[in-house]
């Protein structure tokens, strides 16, 4: 199998929750967050027109930005995060019940074809947490460093 790299982030969107409540509930620091109704701005803080329509919060689950399949296969890392996030199941259910959504956002990068297998057990565990899996697949490696 050809090697590939991947990045995984946890994203939470909600109609109006305060982002600090998400940080507190998950005990994870966000990479970026904003509250619905606050003025829009670029990641560097430059003001934009309008306000945010919903609260958004995300954190990178891989500290260095990406991981290589040569070190840890994607499905293995995903299983690790499913177990790590399992204690937050009730919080995720609350977010969804209030009109929000929670997802694992996965960026996949490879210079050639590659593959992975998500077992029914792993998919069921992720689904039981109420997490969506959202994939962006790039046919070229990223330059994170």
pLDDT for the residue numbered 65: 82
pLDDT at residue 13, as a whole number: 98
10-residue mean pLDDT profile of the chain (145 residues): values are 89 98 97 96 93 97 88 92 96 98 94 89 96 89 58
Q: Looking at residue 139, what is its pLDDT?
A: 78
pLDDT at 82: 94
103 strand-pairing partners: 11, 132
- Measure the CA–CA gap between 43 and 93, rounded to whole angstroms: 29
Query: At a CB cut-off of 8 Å and minimum separation 6, what does 31 contact?
Result: 9, 58, 59, 60
Residue 144 lies in a domain: no
Q: Is residue 143 one of the residues assigned to a domain?
A: no
Please check whether residue 108 is in contact with residue 136, taking contact to mean a CB–CB distance below 8 angstroms: yes
What is the domain range of residue 55? 5-138
Query: Are 55 and 19 in contact, with CB atoms under 8 Å apart?
Result: yes
Residue 68 lies in a domain: yes
- pTM, entire model: 0.90
The domain total for the chain is 1
Residue 117 inside a domain? The answer is yes
According to DSSP, residue 86 is labeled G
């Amino acid at each position: 199998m050809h090697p590939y790299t991947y990045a995984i982030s946890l994203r939470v969107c909600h109609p109006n929750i305060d982002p600090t409540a998400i940080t507190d509930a998950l005990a994870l620091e966000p990479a970026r967050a904003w509250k619905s109704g606050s003025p829009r701005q670029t990641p560097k803080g430059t003001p934009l027109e309008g306000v945010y329509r919903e609260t958004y919060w995300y954190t990178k689950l891989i500290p260095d930005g990406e991981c290589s399949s040569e070190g840890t296969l994607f499905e293995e890392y995903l299983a690790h995060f499913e177990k790590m996030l399992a204690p937050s199941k009730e919080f995720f259910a609350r977010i969804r019940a209030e009109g929000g959504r929670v997802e694992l956002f996965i960026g996949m990068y490879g210079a050639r074809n590659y593959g992975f297998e998500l077992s029914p057990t792993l998919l069921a565990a992720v689904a039981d947490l109420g997490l969506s899996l959202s994939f962006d697949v790039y046919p070229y490696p990223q330059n994170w460093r």
